[in-house]
Amino acid sequence: MITSTIDVRSALLTRKQAAAYLNKSERWMQRARAHGIPFHKLGKSVYFTIPDLDKYIARTRIGGDVS
């Protein structure tokens, strides 16, 4: 029996899934390069990782304590 474990933190998200994660539109995600969000391109498909999206969120934080 083969058992596989997928690390959810490194799984690839589609543009639609990444948009939902960031609470943005798919159209906004199409301009990911302009927003400085890294992405992976496999053929014609574009994918994002949760760690990259989290880094984008942290990078765009303004004000407050940095702990």
pLDDT of residue 3: 55
pLDDT of residue 4: 54
List residues bridging with 12 in a β-sheet. Answer: 49
- Decide: pTM greater than 0.85: no
Domain that holds residue 54: 9-59
What total of structural domains would you count in the chain? 1
CATH number of the domain residue 45 falls in = 1.10.10
Residue 3 within a domain: no
- At 2-58, the pLDDT tens digits run 555 556 556 899 999 999 999 999 999 998 888 899 999 999 999 999 999 999 999
Three-class SS state of 48: strand
